[in-house]
Each structure stands twice: as structure tokens, then as C-alpha cells.
Structure 1
Amino acid sequence: MSGRDLREWTIAQVRSAMTAAMRTDPHALDALAGWNPPDLDPHSLSFLRTARTLTLATSAALSTVLSIHRYGRDPYDRIVCLACGIDRCRTVRGVSDVLTAYGLQTHPVDRPEAWRLADAWYTKTAGHPVLLSVESFVEGFIARPATSPPEAPDNVLIIDRNTGALTLWPSYDTDTLASEYHNYKRGTL
């Protein structure tokens, strides 16, 4: 696996952990911690209360590290880590090895989750629910409103299949959007 591909895999793992934590209902965790089962020791109870925040903070910190250790072309037109100046970044490799050792799995976004994310975004943007269609493509989902809200005319959302990240795009046809999104993720757009 190339250094750039390894970084993309590592970013997907970190975002997956962050997405799983964001999907977790903090009120449900508080209720569970408040239940205080007798066989749960104080350390486990404390971890249960802070697990969501800890996961979000750790994921955000790793995302920051990975945003600094990104690949691009050096003055000699070689693909290298722009922070380290080498082709196989030790920082990305180290983070990747740790995530692999702990068996972190990505939890891809499915169509219902893509619809939920798009619905929440369009409802917040328009101030009311918006009728949506959701199309699948290899790297994600395209959410198109039946009627574009004035705040985002002629735009559609793309929901990343691996991370749940939302990006706003012009209202192109599906094949063009899929191609443009692929280039965007590879940093060639």
C-alpha cells in the first residue's frame, strides 16, 4: 500500500471512530451510568461516563495530526509527506499500526444513515423538512432535494460512505459527481 493510500485508510479509521461516537446518544450513556449496576467497578463506570467524549477528543487529535502529515509533491516532483519530506511517513505508519493492532473497524454509512444526515442538514439549512432522493455511488451517496432551498440553490450533498462527511456540490449528473468526488478525495481536483 502506498503512503498516500495508507494515510487515506488511516483517516477513514479515525473518522469511523469519530462517527460511531457522534452517533451514540449521550443521554442513553448517562442513563446507563446512572443505573449504576452493582457489578460495575468505579473505574469502569467512570470510563462509561467519559467514553464518548474521550473517543471524540482522541479522534479529533488524530485528525489534526493526519491533516499535517499529508502527501503532496516536493520540489523534485516526488510524492512525499509534506511534514516529513519522506515517501513513507513514520507518523502515518505509526498511527495506522496502532489502529490495526486494536482491530478498529470502519462502519460504512448505509443509505438510511446517509438520508438521516442529509435530512438533518437540509432541515437545518432550509428551516423545515425537505423532500430528498438519495442515490448511491461507490464512494458515497448523493442527496438531492426535490426543491432546492434558497440557502443552497442548485447544490446537492455528497455523504462519504466511509466517514459520513458532508460536502456541498453543484447539481451535476450522478456520473460526473462520482468522478469529481473521486478526484476530490484523491486530492487531484
Structure 2
Amino acid sequence: MHTTADRAPLLQGIESIRTLAELADPTAIARLLDQPAAISHLDDHTLDFLRRAQDLLLATTRTLTGALEPTRRPTTIDIAEAWHRALLHLPRRDDGPVLIHIQEFEDAYQAIPILVPIPEPPPVPTLETATTLVIDKTTGTVTRWPLLPLDVLTSQYRRYKHQEPMLLDNQPS
């Protein structure tokens, strides 16, 4: 029978693997696997494994940790941890961000993915143009802006911060 001290190095290794799997960027992996030159020499089984490796490692490390620490007291998962775990288990989307609505009930949390399309900024904003918020990194001040291409918003916000006139079609307003 192994003691807890005997298991400590093994548990540390498992925890390291779990941490690495959580930190891996799934979109970077997907982009790599979408490059024909990178995968031309791989068979379908290998490609399937690589696409699922992160989820497989996370499930395996959870199972191993549970098996090696059967007397460990259960921990309470908070809403932030529930959100993090849902994010790791929901299917990835390349065409836009996914919001996750977490709803708590007596014994667990329900995680509902909410698909969010990001609107394209119009060439010239109008009264009907969607708005966006800008949160200043230094002051935390929140200001509302029309939805603009990021480079235009960047230059206009810089002008705003320096109390310079706004430019519309390269003309001062």
C-alpha cells in the first residue's frame, strides 16, 4: 500500500500536466491543425487525437487525481470555477466568441453557451449604428462610442483623451 507521501510526486506531475492542458490555447491548436502543410503527413486517427488532446488530458488528470486521493475532502466549486470548467468543455467556435450563462441550482451549476455575432462597423456611423464601450486602462473611465473600426476608434479615442477635435472623414468636427 502506498502512503500519501509516496503519491505526492505523482500527484504533482499530474497537476503539472493538468495546468499545462488548461493553459494551452485551443484556437492556436486548431489554427495549426487547419494548415495543410502541418498535417499532410498525419493520419486521421492522429489528427482526431490532436484535436481532442486537451479535453482528454483534462479528463484523465481529473480521474487520476480522484483515484489517487480517495480520502480527499470534496471542494466547493464557485461560480467562477464553474464558468472556467464550462469554457474548457464547450465546443470551440472559430467564427466568434461564446458567452456562457451560468445559473446555480441546489447541487450544481447549469452552463448555457450563448453565441454572439460581432457586428461589422459601418463605414460612417449613423444614429442607428450600434454602440460600443471604451474602458480606459489608466482611469477605468467608461465612455460610449459608435461602433467604429478599431484603428479609427483608437485614433479618435486618443484625440478625445487629449481634448483635440474629433475627425469625421478626416475633417475636424
Q: TM-score range with shorter-chain normalisation?
A: 0.3 to 0.5
Higher helix share: 1
Structure number with larger C-alpha Rg: 2
How high is the TM-score relative to the length of structure 1?
0.34
Q: Name which structure has the greater RCO, CA cutoff 8 Å, separation 6+.
A: 1
